Each structure stands twice: as structure tokens, then as C-alpha cells.
Amino acid sequence: MFIEIRNSPISEEEALAKLEKGGCGSTVLFSGIVRPEEGGRRISALHYEHYPGMAERMITVIVTDAMKNFRISDAAVIHRTGDVPAGEISVVVAVSSERRKEGFRACEEIIDRLKTTVPIWKKEIGEVTQWQSERLQQREERKQK
Amino acid sequence: MLFAQYREIARTGEILLEFNDEESLTVGELRKTIGRQNGALSPHMGSALFAVNEEIAADDMRIKNGDVVAAMPPVSGGRCS
């Protein structure tokens, strides 16, 4: 298992290189790339901030669960923080397994739980610079009025 | 500890709160106290997540002397479709 959160560019190749692949018939890779648009507005980058220590520990729990529940052989998760320009990779999840089905399911589970539970926040930098959770909260408040 | 927009709103990553009765302090009481004492953070405390010693904490969790408490905005998420 390899987990890293760091403030420098990341690549798919390094995640794949960290995987233990002995006896595996499959590797599955997910890479999250910053889009040039968020919420209908152009952005030049996303700024990521995390809770050091807690974020890494929560990802470790998520990957441990996936290794147990989906019987995968290994997983690597690398997340970039700081300013990530549009078009560049912000997160990579790589999974090795004996069969592809478990690999696909595990990879999806890992990225879904990471996105919805791990303390990592993003700020949209562009036409309007704003924390994404703030924009979503404002949108909910407008809906309720 | 404060993160992301909470840190920017409060203009600090840490705030110090003093209580008369530490034994009875819960996360929920801390949530209300931060809202009362910091007007700018007040509108956000209803949806804030709290962690005690790096573990997500419910409102009824008791805070002990020396615990590290973090007030965190909802995580960013991201649409998958």
C-alpha cells in the first residue's frame, strides 16, 4: 500500500510503479484531472488544502477496507495539494488484483470514499475565486429561498 | 484548528476558547460557543464537521483537556457523473 499527499506534480506512472503486481492479472488506474470549468465558471486552477495526518490516516483506512472487501492485491493513492492548474492531475488511484472485476470495484470505492469523506478542500481559482464548499452552500441557500 | 475558508474567515488557523467547566464540554457546545464568540464564523457552524484528535466527532462527544479539536468545512466531494 502506498499513500501520499504532497505539494508537487504527480503522475500516473509513479502510482503504477508503486503497486505490488506479483500474481496479478489486472491493474486499474483512475486519475482525476482539473477541469477548466467549475459550476459554469472558467477556472485556471484548483487550490487543494488538506488536514495533514488525518487525511492520510483516513485514506489508509479506506484502502485497507478495499483490500479486505474486494480482495485486491495492492493499491496506491497519491493526491496533490496547493495550486493544481487546469489540465493537470490532482489525484491518482491505482489498484492491482488477480481479476479485473475486483480491481474496477475497488478503485471506484476508494475514489468515491476519498472524495466524500477525507478532509481535503478545494478552492476554485478563476473568474471568481472561491472555496467550492462555500459556492455549493450558497447554491443550496438560494434553492431554499 | 481551522481549515480552508474557516481559517480565512477567522484570519487564523487556531482559536483559543476558555471555558469554566471543561468536564461538561461537548462538541455540540463547542460548535455553539464558536458561533457565539466569532460572528463571522457563526453562519458556518451549523454545517461544520468536527474532529477530535483527528477522528470525526459527533456533537455528543465530550472534549477532554488536551484534546486537539478541528472545525472543518464540508469536504469538497466532486460529481462522478
Domain membership of residue A145 (yes or no) is no
Please write the tens of the pLDDT for every residue from A107-143: 999 999 999 999 999 999 998 899 988 888 778 778 8
Say yes or no to pLDDT of B80 above 60. no
Domains in chain A, number: 1
- Residue contact A131–B73, C-beta within 8 A: yes
Contact status of B68 with chain A (Cβ, < 8 Å): no
Domain containing residue A34? 2-134
Cell numbers for A86, please give them.
487546469
Contact B75 A133 (CB under 8 A): yes
Spatial distance between the Cα atoms of B50 and B44, rounded to a whole number of angstroms: 12
CATH of the domain at A52: 3.90.1170.40
A6-14 average pLDDT score: 98
Q: Does residue A139 form part of some domain?
A: no
Cα distance from A86 to chain B (closest Cα, Å)? 15
- Closest CA–CA distance from residue B34 to any residue of chain A (Å): 18
- Convert the pLDDT of each residue in A65-75 to its tens digit: 999 999 899 99
Q: How far apart are CA A26 and CA B53, in angstroms?
A: 38
CATH number for region B4-72 = 3.10.20.30
Taking Cα atoms as reference points, which of B78, B80, B6, B74 lies closest to residue A38? Answer: B78
Instruction: Answer whether residue B17 shows pLDDT above 80.
Output: no
Q: How high is the pLDDT of residue A135?
A: 83
Residue A140, in any domain of the structure:
no
Would you state the pLDDT for residue B81? 53
Q: Which residue has the higher pLDDT, A29 or B43?
A: A29
What is the distance in angstroms between the Cα of B4 and the nearest Cα belonging to chain A?
7
Across the interface, whether the CB atoms of B77 and A118 are under 8 A apart is answered no
Please give the mean pLDDT across all residues of chain B: 86
Nearest to B54 among A53, A123, A131 (CB): A53
What count of other Cβ atoms lies within 10 Å of the Cβ of residue B17?
11
Q: Three-state SS for A53?
A: coil
Residues in B touching A133 (Cβ below 8 Å): 4-5, 73-76
Report yes or no on A16 lying in a domain. yes
pLDDT surpasses 60 at A10: yes
Look at strands A26-33 and A74-80 and give their pairing. unpaired
Grid coordinates given for A128: 471568481
pLDDT of B78 higher than 70: no
φ/ψ of A113, rounded to 5, equals: -70, -35
Whether B75 and chain A come into contact, CB under 8 Å, resolves to yes
- Count of A–B CB contacts within 8 Å? 59
Give the nearest partner residue to B76 out of A51, A53, A133, using CB atoms: A133
Mean pLDDT of B25-52: 91
The CA–CA distances, whole Å, from A80 to A7, A28, A64, B22, B49 equal 6, 20, 21, 38, 22
B49 interfaces chain A, CB cutoff of 8 Å: yes
- Whether residue A143 lies inside any domain: the answer is no
For range A16-43, the mean pLDDT:
93
